[in-house]
Amino acid sequence: GQNIDQPTEMTATEGAIVQINCTYQTSGFNGLFWYQQHAGEAPTFLSYNVLDGLEEKGRFSSFLSRSKGYSYLLLKELQMKDSASYLCAVMDSNYQLIWGAGTKLIIKP
């Protein structure tokens, strides 16, 4: 079966750095996405990785290791507005997205 695992909840302090991990087992691999979802709102795109390595975009970076079936999202200089759920999704061999349940990130002052 196909499976995406990520922690259910994490807590971090404003101004700090947090790393959200995602491991996956899917039928094929055509890229990994990270989305941000604030409570009661739609998911919004953050990043896409298809090759191994680190992609940096402002305060957010995303890393991929295809051989390990592993990715992480790194958030730096945390702000209160970063409190949200972070969804990891893998595009499988049929070009359909398989979604993790999401990690709820709580930022404390």
**Interacting residue ranges for another protein, rule: CB under 8 A:** 4, 30-31, 33, 41-45, 48, 50, 87, 89, 91, 94-102
Residue recorded with tokens 């993790």: 100
- At closest approach, how far in Å is the CB of 66 from another protein? 14
In angstroms, what is the minimal distance from the CB of 48 to another protein? 7
Specify the residue, 4 or 105, whose C-beta has the smaller distance to another protein: 4
Q: With contact defined as beta carbons under 8 Å apart, do 107 and 78 qualify?
A: yes
Rank residues 43 and 75 by Cβ distance to another protein and give the closer one: 43
